[in-house]
Amino acid sequence: MINDQIRQLATRPDSKGPFVSLYIDTMRNDEAQKDRIRLFLKNETGRLRETIGENGNGLEDAIRQIERYVDDSLEPDTRGLAIFAAPTEHFFSPMQLPIAVRPELAIGNRPHIRQLAELRQAHPAAALAMVDAKSARLFLVNFGRIEFEVDLENPDMPRRHDQGGWSQANIQRHAQENIDRHHQKVADALARIVDQGRTRGGVILSGQERNVANFRGFLPKRVDEKVIGVLHLDMHSGLEDVTTACSALIRGKARGEAMARVATLEGARGAVGFNRVVAALNERRVDSLYFTTRASARGWRCTSCRILGQEVPLGCPACGQHVRSCDLVEALILSAEADGATVNCIEDASTLDRFEGVGAGLRF
Ligand SMILES: [Zn+2]
């Protein structure tokens, strides 16, 4: 879902009036917190009004709409709120997130989605299957919280009183058949979740070794290949323990993969540094974009042919039209998203630090 929203924002035409991107922390969703949000809006918008002057038409409407939304529509478990609004186009897109965000208010003619991209990267959705011989719990963990849980019981598990007159071997075989049937059912359910395409972070299994090994025998190859780790959580673990254990595993795995790819970007199928990444993006050769949390630069974007650049020219070198100054990292992310490239934020020290903190994997 967040992918669709990011894609929608990235492919929007430039707004004719102001485009507001707002991130606010709603950690404590009470009256005092709402007052703090109002104060933040007042201070930040006051500052912005001074700088944008007459281009602020419609801005007041957007601010009022945001204030109303905060007052009326915040869910109790929302920890961070991102709002994208273009009042002149009657566009208002709020996103209530279960994780905290960095307070940010930006006004331009395009959305600021860097934070969303970073949050999506830090909290990829993953499936967890907890299995034993007679029950199972399936979870979808997203943004560090459990999005849904399915409990599956094995109805055929023999009870003691069913076993009269059976030989020990018969009982054991019958029990194993029941476990297999149960594991097959759980494997099918897990495969359905994975096939919905919402488990970018992978699949996690949990259980006693014997059960997990038996269960894996029933997983289709495409699901088994997505397994990023095995946990040994208690079947009755609380949701908090489940999410903590999963989040650590998912983040560690995602970080490792991104770092491995970053190490290859200096090669023939990669580009590093703003100049080369911008050139590759303008040629629509970028397959994956990487930026560090510290990457930052100003640049420009042509209002007509949409190409990007760093040193602001008098006119677009490609089409001669007007160019507009912009946050270059935000512009790179929007272009990459609009082009269907993956967007990755790198938190750890890497080779990218020597190249202004940006790199790209190339399609050709
Ligand atoms: Zn141009």
282: CATH: 3.30.1330.30
**Ligand 1 mean position to 128 CA, how many Å?**
48
Q: How many angstroms is it from 285 CA to the middle of ligand 1?
A: 18
How far does residue 102's CA lie from ligand 1's centre (Å)? 33
Residues 281 and 356 in one domain: yes
Residues 234 and 133 both lie in one domain: yes
Kindly give the residue spans of alpha helices, DSSP state H, lying in the chain.
2-10, 31-52, 59-73, 114-122, 168-195, 209-216, 221-224, 239-262, 274-282, 328-338
Q: Ligand 1 centroid vs 92 CA: distance in angstroms? A: 29
DSSP state of 160: G
Which structure tokens are listed for 317?
């070198």
pLDDT at 161: 54
Q: How far is the CA of 333 from the centre of ligand 1 (A)?
A: 19
68 and 182 fall within a common domain? no
Q: How far is the CA of 317 from the centre of ligand 1 (A)?
A: 7
CA of 36 to the centre of ligand 1 (A): 43
Q: Are residues 118 and 128 in the same domain?
A: no
Cα distances (Å, whole numbers) of residue 86 to 8, 49, 63, 345: 14, 16, 11, 27
Alpha carbon distance 56, 42 (integer Å): 15
Burial 297-324, CB ≥16 within 10 A → b, else e: bebbbbeeebbbbbeeeeebeeeeeebe
Task: Give distance in angstroms: CA of 7 to centre of ligand 1.
Answer: 23
Q: Give me the CATH number covering residue 197.
A: 3.30.420.60
Cα 211 to middle of ligand 1, angstroms: 60
Residue 301 Cα to ligand 1 midpoint, Å, equals: 8
Ligand 1 midpoint to CA 10 (Å): 18
Predicted TM-score (pTM) of this structure: 0.82
In the reported structure, the alpha carbon of residue 311 is separated from the centroid of ligand 1 by a whole-number distance in angstroms of 14
Domain extent for 345: 263-364
Q: Give the SS3 label for residue 358.
A: strand
Tell me the CA–centroid distance for residue 296 and ligand 1, in Å: 23
In whole angstroms, what is the distance from residue 184 CA to residue 218 CA?
A: 5
What pLDDT sits at residue 19? 92
Instruction: Calculate how far, in angstroms, residue 284's C-alpha sits from the geometric centre of ligand 1.
Output: 15
Give the Å distance between the CA of 302 and the centre of ligand 1: 5
- Report CA(293)–ligand 1 centroid distance (Å): 29
Q: What is the pLDDT of residue 18?
A: 86
Q: Verify that 4 and 29 share a domain, yes or no.
A: yes
Total domains, the chain:
3
The last residue of a domain, from among 210, 228, 260: 260
pLDDT of the residue at 160: 56
Q: Which of 283, 256, 292 is nearest to 363 (CA)?
A: 283
Task: Please state, in angstroms and rounded to a whole number, the distance separating the CA atoms of residues 336 and 330.
Answer: 10
Cβ neighbours for 169, distance < 8 A, ≥ 6 positions apart = none
Centre of ligand 1 from the C-alpha of residue 338, in Å: 17
Compute how many other C-beta atoms are within 10 angstroms of the C-beta atom of residue 168: 8
The answer to whether residues 199 and 317 belong to one domain is no
pLDDT of residue 345: 93
Residue 318 CA to ligand 1 center (angstroms) comes to 5
| Distance from Cα 89 to the centre of ligand 1, integer Å | 24
The CA 307 to ligand 1 mean position distance, Å, reads 6
**Domain end point (choices 227, 260, 293):** 260
Q: Let me know whether 275 and 223 are in one domain.
A: no
CA 268 to chain centre: 29
Q: How far apart are CA 338 and CA 331, in angstroms?
A: 10
| Residue 319 alpha carbon to ligand 1 centre in Å | 4
Regarding whether 302 and 223 lie in a shared domain, the answer is no
**Domain of residue 8, CATH code:** 3.30.960.10
Q: Which of 204, 217, 290, 206 has the alpha carbon at shortest distance from 251?
A: 204
| Ligand 1 midpoint to CA 331 (Å) | 15
- Reduce the secondary structure of 221-266 to three states and give it as a string: HHHHCCEEEEECCCCCCCHHHHHHHHHHHHHHHHHHHHHHHHCCCC
**Residue 172, beta-bridge partner list:** none
Q: CA separation (Å) from 132 to 33, 141, 181? A: 44, 20, 12
Same domain, 242 and 279: no
315 Cα to the center of ligand 1, angstroms: 8
Whether residues 246 and 145 fall in one domain: yes
Question: What are the angstrom distances between the C-alpha of 308 and each of 5, 108, 121, 154, 362?
Answer: 23, 16, 24, 58, 17
Written as tens digits, the pLDDT of the chain (364 aa) is 788 899 999 999 999 888 999 999 887 667 787 788 888 878 877 776 776 665 556 778 888 888 889 888 988 888 899 999 998 899 999 999 988 899 998 988 999 999 999 998 888 889 999 999 999 999 998 887 788 889 988 776 655 555 566 788 888 888 899 999 999 999 999 999 999 988 888 999 999 999 999 999 999 999 999 999 999 999 999 988 998 899 889 888 888 888 999 999 999 899 999 999 999 999 999 999 999 999 999 999 999 999 999 998 889 999 999 999 999 999 999 999 999 999 999 998 999 999 999 999 999 8
Q: Show which of 122, 145, 172 is a domain's final residue.
A: 122
**Alpha-carbon span 143 to 121, nearest angstrom:** 9
Same domain, 223 and 267: no
